[in-house]
Amino acid sequence: MRTQVAIIGAGPSGLLLGQLLHKAGIDNVIIERQSPDYVLGRIRAGILEQIMVDLLHEAGVGERVAKEGTVHHSIELVYKNTRHPIDVTGLTNGKVVTAYGQTEITRDLMDARQAAGLPTVYEAANVSIHGFDGAKPSVRYEIDGQTHELACDFIAGCDGFHGVCRATVQDSITEYEKVYPFGWVGLLADVPPVSPHAVVYANSERGFGLCSMRSLTRSRYYVQCPIDDKVEQWSDDRFWDELRRRLDPAMAEAIVTGPSIEKSIAPLRSFVAEPMRFGRLFLAGDAAHIVPPTGAKGLNLAASDVKYLSTAFIEHYAEKSDAGIDHYSQRALARVWRAERFSWWLTSLMHRFPDTGGFGQKVQEAELEYLVNSEAMSRSLAENYVGLPLDFGQR
Ligand code: APR
Ligand code: PHB
């Protein structure tokens, strides 16, 4: 088998890249280790920057997000059990974010790929990549014990944090990593969200809390927990009680509780691998970087990588220019580090660390008070939250 771009991984990065390339007339095959149901079973964040929504439209899958996504114009910060709205739209010349689950994006992209009859190999075992240092890259994989080979011009490593692509070039990368000393318990429930038009970020002496949503009838909530906690230690009742204690009284009172339909504990990590290009291999999305979920930048960063990468491939084939390919790593990493900084900052401001103590708590509260009362600092939060422009900082 032969294609122009071999894409490893059918998460949002790989599927979005495949769709954008297809629209530009570039052949691509996706090789995925898991089954479609497994891929759709993963619960992840769901706050989209406009850049992501625009890309979904460009990829021809914008219909459902436009209809079913909920537009947010603000965020709410809670500290000392008091709520403070930040007018994100007013502070960014009209920009918004959209609440729409990653699972739904994946489903929309999968459906579009299937409708277009594009090749996707699911449940591929022992995927390996070869020859990307030279002119003839290829991908090998097994289906039912049979080895197959896919020859290609380029390989896009969209295979997430535990994928094979970054592992293959391990010796050529520099890794930057920060692991946080706590986790998040997340709970999904079919109850109306307490704050349907803004995500709520709560700093409290008991630790961080977050109120988000997937739709007007499905809520997603989180509380910070000790790193070693097991999900069995978090009954639904304990979760709801703890969340309420971290919010302001009016919101705690208004929250509608119900049985969880999913509950899990996730660790928090910041991670960047540099560079993101190795000859004819390109890393994109979680394969190259991880942000802690505070600020919901993970999926949005995957989207900007894919935008830079698809543009580079389109320039290569249509305009015979390799400028985009040559600049991919530098361009993507510049945006990655801005989002890494923002996610690290918001995580540091909102969580209780082992050494936070009384002094640290007071400093966090002073910073939050400055944030909500200073237009300059509110604007800084707002412009990062809606997403810095793709060409930010370029002259
Ligand atoms: N071979 C083929 N596929 C693989 C391999 C492999 N060796 N290893 C992993 N994969 C697949 C995974 O099964 C998964 O479906 O690659 C896919 C990677 O998808 P994600 O982990 O979702 O990563 P990405 O597509 O970059 O999505 C960006 O945004 O909100 C964040 O972290 C969140 O997943 C999200 C990310
Ligand atoms: C989510 O909806 O899961 C979510 C929203 C905002 C965040 C993190 C997670 O900052």
Instruction: Determine whether 144 is exposed, middle or buried from the number of CB atoms within 10 Å of its CB (0-12, 13-18, 19+).
Output: exposed
Centre a 10 Å sphere on the Cβ of residue 323 and count the other Cβ atoms it contains: 11
- Closest approach atom of ligand 1 to CA 285: 26
The pLDDT of residue 395: 67
Residues lining ligand 1, CB < 6 A?
Answer: 8-14, 31-34, 39, 44-45, 102, 124, 127, 158-160, 162-164, 285-286, 298-299, 302
Residue closest to 16 by CA, chosen among 124, 154, 108, 138: 108
Q: Over the chain (395 residues), what is each successive 10-residue block's mean pLDDT?
A: 97 98 98 96 88 96 97 98 97 97 95 97 98 97 97 98 98 98 97 97 98 94 98 98 98 97 96 98 98 97 98 96 97 97 98 97 98 98 97 82
Any ligand 2 atom below 6 A from CB of 224: no
**Which ligand 2 atom is nearest residue 214's CA?**
2
Q: Is 189 in the pocket of ligand 2 (CB under 6 A)?
A: no
Residue nearest to atom 21 of ligand 1 (CA): 160
Task: State if residue 45 touches ligand 2 by the CB under 6 angstroms criterion.
Answer: yes
What are the residue numbers of the active site?
72, 201, 293, 297, 385
Task: Determine the distance separating the centroid of ligand 1 and the alpha carbon of 156, expressed in angstroms.
Answer: 12
The pLDDT tens digits for 22-36 are: 999 999 999 999 999
Cα of 63 vs centre of ligand 1, distance in Å, is 24
Gap from CA of 86 to ligand 1 centroid (Å): 33
Cis status, amide bond into 259, omega within 30 of 0 = no
Ligand nearest to the CA of 70: 2
pLDDT tens-place string over residues 69-102: 999 999 999 999 999 999 999 999 999 999 999 9
CA distances, 94 to each of 26, 67, 89, 302 (Å): 35, 20, 5, 24
pTM above 0.95, yes or no: yes
CA of 168 to the centre of ligand 1 (A): 16
Protein residue closest via CA to atom 7 of ligand 2: 296
Q: Ligand 1 centroid to 25 CA: how many Å?
A: 24
What tokens does 377 get? 């600092």
Q: Ligand 1 centroid to 199 CA: how many Å?
A: 25
| Residue 14 CA, closest ligand 1 atom number | 25
**In one letter, which amino acid is 233?**
Q
Q: What distance in Å separates the CA atoms of residue 29 and residue 376, rounded to the nearest whole number?
A: 47
Domains annotated on the chain, with CATH: 5-70+100-177+269-349 (3.50.50.60)
CB of residue 294 inside a 6 A radius of ligand 2? yes
Ramachandran assignment for 25, one of left (phi > 0), alpha (psi -120 to 50 degrees), beta (any other): left
Do the bridges between strand 5-8 and strand 154-157 make them parallel or antiparallel, or are there none, so unpaired?
parallel
For ligand 1, atom 23, name the residue with the nearest CA: 160
| pLDDT reported for residue 323 | 96
| Ligand 2 contacts CB of residue 295 (under 6 A) | yes
Interacting residues of 392 by C-beta distance below 8 A, sequence separation 6+: 334, 335, 338
Atom of ligand 1 nearest to the CA of 287: 26
